[in-house]
Amino acid sequence: MVDTAHRNTDGTGVEGVAGGVGVTALLVAAARALESHRSDSLARDVYAEHFVRAAPASADWPVHPRQVPDGDANPLWGRFARYFGLRTRVLDDFLLRSVRVGGARQVVLVGAGLDARAFRLDWPPGCVVFEIDRKEVLAFKHRVLGGLSATPKAARVPVPMDLRADWADALPRVGFDPAAPSVWLVEGLLFYLPPTAETYLIDTVERLSAGGSALAFEVKLEKDLLEYRDSPLYTATREQIGIDLLDLFDLAPRPDSAGRLTDRGWSTSVHTPFDFTRLHGRGPLPEPNDALAGNRWVFAEKPHTAGGARGA
């Protein structure tokens, strides 16, 4: 589907997060580390700063608010980092609610990156967390977490697959049951995919999801992302850590993935991040020339009976 980073050469996985989209996983990890050290933290991830320090590309990035001289006024390490902290909390809540209330025991992280939820969330007994990502990324994560003697709080099944490969067939081979309810998370991934790849991914999740399954994903709805090239957020990211997000995003018009699921019988809700800022009392609020204006968080549930589903 998408080429996310350089090829690994040394078995440590470092190059898997050293360039292209791979390095954005380190950016999000740094944001989670900053959020974890805040007195008003929305989410805690004790592993995040270790990922940041273990990769040469990010070794000198801040992982504690005291290392950001201008604090929340910094568009990158202030506002953008708070955005990722809020996103982490909201998606943590979604996953735990889906397994505790909805009863699903299979959790699939598509493009898992440096997600440490298998280690840091309190999962009910019997949960299995499948992590799909390239072997280089998973190798890097394994090396860092192994060095910390971290122990997962659920059964964890790494699925070392490039998303361009047939990961849908690989899942059942490692224990995933398409006949049982599942919870899916596609976090910070769809921005980088061509529209056809996004549609394929959503259709694949729909096909593999039994009744009672749930899905959360993030999209951007701007008609022209380049209108925000000079926004403080994108400018600060380019100038402070050398990442041009607009060069990494796929700029083609996006499909209506939420509508596609609705047409197939799922119940869907679409929210702005600012909805949750107001709910929690912390996080980014709208501002002029706002690179977050088009971001949407989509939550979808598939009914237990297929009577209302329609083919697309």
Per-residue pLDDT of the chain (312 residues; tens, 9 = 90+): 333 333 333 445 555 566 566 799 999 999 999 999 999 999 999 999 999 999 999 999 999 999 998 999 999 999 999 999 999 999 999 999 999 999 999 999 999 999 999 999 999 999 999 999 999 999 999 999 999 999 999 999 999 998 888 899 999 999 999 999 999 999 999 999 999 999 999 999 999 999 999 999 999 998 899 999 999 999 999 999 999 999 999 999 999 999 999 999 999 999 999 999 999 999 999 999 999 999 999 999 999 874 443 333
- Chain-centre distance of CA 112, in angstroms? 7
In the structure encoding, which two tokens stand for residue 307, read together? 């009577």
Q: Which domains does the chain have, with CATH numbers?
A: 21-302 (3.40.50.150)
Question: What pairs with residue 182 in β-bridges?
Answer: 106
- Predicted local confidence at residue 142, as pLDDT: 96
Rounded Cα–Cα distance for residues 174 and 188 (Å): 24
Rounded Cα–Cα distance for residues 94 and 185 (Å): 9
Query: How far apart, in Å, do the first and last CA atoms of the chain sit?
Result: 22
Burial class (CB in 10 A: 0-12, 13-18, 19+), 196: exposed
In the structure encoding, which two tokens stand for residue 159, read together? 């699925």
Nearest to 13 by CA among 156, 158, 192, 187: 158
Q: What angle do CA 150, 18, 56 make, to 5 degrees?
A: 70
In the structure encoding, which two tokens stand for residue 257, read together? 């993935």
- Predicted local confidence at residue 16, as pLDDT: 59
- Predicted local confidence at residue 18, as pLDDT: 60
Rounded Cα–Cα distance for residues 253 and 13 (Å): 33
